[in-house]
């Protein structure tokens, strides 16, 4: 008879203290140690999402954690995903499918349904694995939200999970973070906290020894380790908080300069992580139109609110700057929402994304987008459909990616497609994707994750270098493989934490 998996939960003193990466590291560590381990986060609020092999949508962080654990992501790992929209509303993705768009009051009225979904998902995971590593959200000491909690101590109690509490020393005030959080917890919840983790430490760890001794005396809970700040990990961030720390200015040492427009509702910006890790390439996020004028490449990224973000681009001069680049045949790529913006028109007759039923696009690609009520979430395999600066060297080669969108794109007569989709979720398909301008300098695609393909990334960088009269050579510091990055993360965390103590806390023999 299969016994239920053990559980261990990582909570934090605030958002963006490194909970996701700690869970990712522990997934890889326990996998290396021979355990069948899976991640779980009951409710995730993020615009970075992923598609499971069966075509369901979950938070990007849980897909990353599953990959670190050596397993395929499933919808049970993140049963509820909230995707913020303008007007203080969120699209609710429940068990991988859109359940509607709601404000917080409307969503909270469905708490009973949400808790049943969470309990069922957790039970399903526990029947298949040895250990479930659970990630909390924000802080367990948000006193105004205690009665609505379905992601922190509520889940710890549901899973009967011991809790490790992580604080971020890089942002300062880690003693107040940890001590204050523990002091605010109810006695029942405080009793679940079995260890403290000091995360993102820059410097010699032994310098923190007096601090660890203070925390243990003050809190009566062991400090299980001091984890260093790990530079330049090629591991996707959970949400847009990390986007604020991305570069805004061009690196003088870089050979190539790529500007990503920092849309207010930018989504799946982890698309560009592989490019950020290429030696000699500067990837920066542009907040104003002047930031895209001299770039070797401008990318209009995905958006959770395409119409609102297109209006924002017009108000802030980006539309004019993009049109000027197009007139000069200088490279522009639009991905998903960015692709739709480059088209002739966006139709939204049912007001799915905004209050506008139709909006003129930038007019640089011969496509028209129509929003529909059913979201497409698929993993795809594709091939280049025509030659452009992006695909000059990948003709006929299979490329992997994924789709997450509610807007369907149709090409106007005479418009060339960017890619040919040959498979969706493992099933044979035959459909054209995106568009390419007549000059080949403007490319739009609805496929996320294309830069994860080494061949298309190399083709792009060689084409950009060639436009500057240079020859692109693969650098020794080229983008590392994701699997190697999980190992690098695990090595650093294993060396920093008392893994034996964590095994005892989790009840793992």
Q: Which of 336, 339, 355, 386 is catalytic?
A: 336
Taking CB atoms within 8 Å and a gap of at least 24, the contacts of 320-325 are 320/289, 321/289, 321/290, 321/292, 321/293, 322/292, 322/298, 322/362, 322/364, 323/362, 323/364, 324/293, 325/292, 325/298
Angle between helix 60-68 and helix 482-496 axes, rounded to 10 deg: 80
Q: Do 200 and 169 meet the contact criterion of CB atoms below 8 Å apart? A: yes
3-class SS of residue 47: coil
Q: Give dist(CA 471, CA 94) in Å, integer.
A: 48
Q: Give dist(CA 388, CA 18) in Å, integer.
A: 39
The structure tokens listed for 185 are 């917890």
Q: Do 368 and 347 meet the contact criterion of CB atoms below 8 Å apart? A: yes
Q: Give dist(CA 48, CA 50) in Å, integer.
A: 7
The full DSSP string for 165-226 is: EEEESTTS-HHHHHHHHHHHS-HHHHTTEEEEEEEEE-S-GGGGHHHHHHHHHHHSS-EEEE
The vertex-446 CA angle with 288 and 353, nearest 5°, equals 70
Q: Is 448 a catalytic residue?
A: yes
What residues pair up with 104 in beta bridges, in sequence order? none
User: Looking up tokens 């934490």, which residue turns up?
Assistant: 497
Max Cα-Cα span within the chain: 73
The structure tokens listed for 380 are 């795809």
User: Looking up tokens 């793992």, which residue turns up?
Assistant: 508
Burial class of residue 196, CB neighbours in 10 A (0-12, 13-18, 19+)? buried
Q: For the beta carbon of residue 202, count every other beta carbon within 10 angstroms.
A: 9
Q: Is 336 a catalytic residue?
A: yes
Residues labelled catalytic: 336, 448
């Amino acid at each position: 008879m299969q016994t239920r998996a053990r559980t261990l939960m990582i909570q934090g003193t605030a958002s963006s203290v490194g909970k996701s990466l700690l869970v990712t590291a522990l997934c890889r560590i326990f996998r290396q140690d021979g355990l069948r381990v899976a991640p779980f986060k009951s409710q995730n609020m993020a615009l970075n999402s992923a598609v499971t092999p069966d075509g369901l949508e979950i938070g990007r962080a849980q897909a990353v954690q599953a990959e670190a654990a050596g397993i395929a992501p499933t919808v049970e790992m993140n049963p509820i995903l909230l995707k913020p929209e303008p007007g203080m509303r969120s699209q609710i993705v429940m068990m991988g499918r859109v359940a509607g768009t709601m404000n917080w009051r409307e969503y909270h009225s469905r708490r009973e349904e949400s808790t049943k979904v969470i309990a069922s998902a957790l039970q399903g995971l526990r029947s298949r694995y040895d250990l479930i590593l659970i990630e909390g959200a924000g802080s367990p000491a948000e006193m105004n939200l205690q009665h609505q909690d379905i992601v922190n101590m509520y889940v710890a109690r549901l899973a009967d999970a011991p809790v490790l509490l992580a604080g971020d020393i890089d942002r300062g005030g880690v003693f107040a973070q940890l001590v204050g959080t523990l002091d605010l917890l109810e006695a029942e919840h405080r009793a679940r906290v079995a260890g403290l983790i000091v995360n993102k430490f820059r410097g010699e760890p032994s310098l923190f020894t007096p601090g660890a001794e203070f925390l243990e005396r003050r809190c009566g809970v062991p400090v299980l380790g001091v984890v260093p700040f790990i530079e330049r990990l090629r591991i996707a961030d959970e949400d847009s908080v990390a986007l604020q720390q991305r570069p805004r200015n061009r690196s003088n040492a870089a050979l190539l300069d790529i500007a990503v427009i920092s849309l207010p509702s930018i989504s799946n910006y982890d698309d560009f992580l592989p490019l950020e890790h290429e030696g000699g390439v500067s990837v920066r996020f542009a907040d104003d139109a002047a930031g895209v004028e001299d770039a070797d490449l401008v990318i209009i990224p995905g958006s959770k609110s395409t119409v609102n973000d297109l209006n924002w681009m017009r108000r802030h001069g980006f539309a004019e700057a993009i049109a000027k680049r197009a007139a000069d045949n200088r490279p522009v790529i639009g991905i998903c929402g960015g692709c739709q913006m480059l088209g002739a028109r966006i139709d939204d007759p049912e007001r799915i994304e905004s209050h506008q039923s139709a909006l003129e696009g930038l007019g640089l690609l011969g496509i028209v987008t129509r929003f529909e009520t059913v979201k497409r979430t698929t993993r795809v395999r594709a091939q280049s459909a025509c030659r452009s600066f992006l695909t000059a060297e990948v003709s006929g080669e299979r490329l992997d990616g994924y789709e997450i969108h509610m807007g369907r794109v149709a090409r106007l007569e005479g418009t060339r497609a960017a890619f040919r989709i040959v498979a969706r979720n493992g099933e044979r398909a035959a459909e054209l994707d995106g568009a390419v301008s007549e000059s080949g300098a403007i490319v739009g695609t609805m496929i996320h994750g294309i830069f994860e393909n080494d061949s298309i990334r190399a083709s792009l960088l060689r084409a950009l270098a060639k436009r500057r009269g240079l020859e692109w050579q693969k650098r020794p510091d080229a983008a590392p493989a994701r699997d190697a990055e999980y190992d690098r993360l695990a090595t650093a965390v294993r060396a920093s934490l008392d893994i034996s103590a964590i095994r005892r806390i989790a009840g793992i023999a």
